Amino acid sequence: MEASKLLSRFEQQYGASPAPVRFFHAPGRVNLIGEHIDYNGGYVLPAALEFGTTLLIREREDHCVRLATTNFEYQLEIDVSALADAKQDQWTDYPIGVMNQLQQSDRGLTKGYELLFHGDIPNGAGLSSSASLEVVTAYALLTLEGHHIDRTDIALLSQRAENRFVGVNCGIMDQFAVAQGKLDHAILLLCDTLEYTHVPFQTDGYCLIIGNTNKRRGLVDSKYNERRAQCEEAVRALQAAYPHMTLLAHLTAEQFEAEADKIADDTVRARAAHVIAENDRVKQSVDALKNNDLIRFGELMNASHDSLRDLYEVSCEELDIMVKEARCIEGTLGSRMTGAGFGGCTVSLVREDAAEQFVVRVGAAYEEQTGLHPEFYICRVGDGVRELAPLAKTAKIDKEG
């Protein structure tokens, strides 16, 4: 939705006021490779997308916080002093969770605000619409309250909001990617220490295509927690040989192979084998990108999917069909599921001149085999969370230029 329309919507919702309305934006994210690695302390390679969540926000004279979105009917009005008990099992839990975490880190709201969100990330597609909502709230409130902006701190605070207030046990990757994204760059993040670098993602002649299976992600929370528990079990077993390790990604492939039989349970051993190899694949992917070797990068994407399907078992029929069909297109270098799995999206690296054909042919074959109508987004890698230019200025720039 255009900025001017959003502003009219804001004024319709909250009325006029002399205080300015400020605009903020946080992207969604796609993970290029390094899946189910963040909570195991290894390397991930996500990137911010160009679509995301826009927030319009205005200060109030009192201590009332009002939240609304263009995406859902549900709205909330609450006093700043009542935020801790404001869990509603609604979308508002994400921004309220962030406000709570700000309070708990001595940066609680000193006044009330009016907030209107507008998200253009497909919901429940595994492209981090929730992280985007959290991070844009944190960034905007820290800015308006005059606090120092530290993007890693914003990612951690948003993750805590999700873990503790919303009650989802996610890792750090999504919030970090949304906070630290950079145009045309992927983010190489070591999740154990939060050291990171921006890796140029130059794919001249190729593009990323995200394919939404539109399969509802059933049981994702319980299966996700089960995988985390299996990784912890693998660590406990391997500690017999490596007493100092606390996270699976601390081991090299050689160290793991030498002692893998310490893990008695076949399933748990397979989960650990995925983590060790996937962590390695991320490092190899970065080398491939640095050498401009997109063919190698595509092979690693393919290997990642196969491991998530066979060893980690977080894919599903719909994701596998979409990936299989994507790989049949001449011009696809690699294709894999992205995010937690059990539905959601695939990401494929495709020659630009084959993109149109990809969308038509993969779409038709997928629909025929699953009965579900998929959606495709040809994406560019975008920037992380930021404040947007005030509307009057934007309009002027548009007019002049």
Cα distance between residue 141 and residue 324, in whole Å: 44
In whole angstroms, the minimum distance from the beta carbon of 114 to ligand GLA comes to: 29
Q: Determine the distance from the C-alpha atom of residue 13 to the mean position of all C-alpha atoms in its chain, rounded to a whole number.
A: 29
Kindly tell me which residue out of 340, 365, 385, 391 binds ligand GLA, with binding defined by CB under 6 A.
340
Given the residues 174, 221, 261, 293, the one annotated as active site? 174
Residue that the structure tokens 């207030």 belong to: 165
Stretch that binds ligand GLA, among 18-26, 36-44, 138-146, 280-288 (CB under 6 A): 36-44
Residue 38 assigned as binding residue? yes
Residue 339 Cβ, how far from ligand GLA at the closest point, in Å? 5
Of 155 and 355, nearer to ligand GLA (C-beta) is 155
Q: Per residue in 346-378, is it b (16+ CB within 10 Å) or e — as a string?
A: bbbbbbeebbeebbeebbebbeeebebebebbe
Q: What Rg, from alpha-carbon coordinates, does the chain have?
A: 22
339 binds ligand GLA (CB under 6 A): yes
Which tokens is 364 given? Answer: 């038709």
282 touching ligand GLA, by CB under 6 A: no
Q: Per CB under 6 A, does 134 bind ligand GLA?
A: no
Applying CB under 6 A, does 38 fall inside the site for ligand GLA? yes
Q: Which amino acid, one-letter code, is at 160?
A: R
Query: Is 341 assigned to a binding site?
Result: no
Query: By the 8 A CB rule, do 111 and 331 touch?
Result: no
383 interacts with ligand GLA by CB under 6 A: no
> Does 36 carry a binding-site annotation?
yes
Is 280 one of the annotated active-site residues of the chain?
no
Question: Is residue 33 near ligand GLA by the rule CB under 6 A?
Answer: no
Give the integer Cα–Cα distance in Å for 3 and 276: 45
CB 349 within 8 A of CB 96: no
Token digits of residue 133: 């909502």
Is there a binding annotation on residue 130?
yes
Residue 195 and residue 214: Cα distance in Å, rounded? 34
Q: Does 35 contact ligand GLA by CB under 6 A?
A: yes
166-195 positions binding ligand GLA, by CB under 6 A: 170-171, 173-174
Question: Which segments are annotated as binding site for Mg(2+)?
Answer: 130, 162
Q: Which residues are annotated as a binding site for substrate?
A: 35-38, 224
Active site residues: 174
Q: Which residues bind ligand GLA (CB under 6 A)?
A: 31, 35-36, 38-39, 170-171, 173-174, 339-340
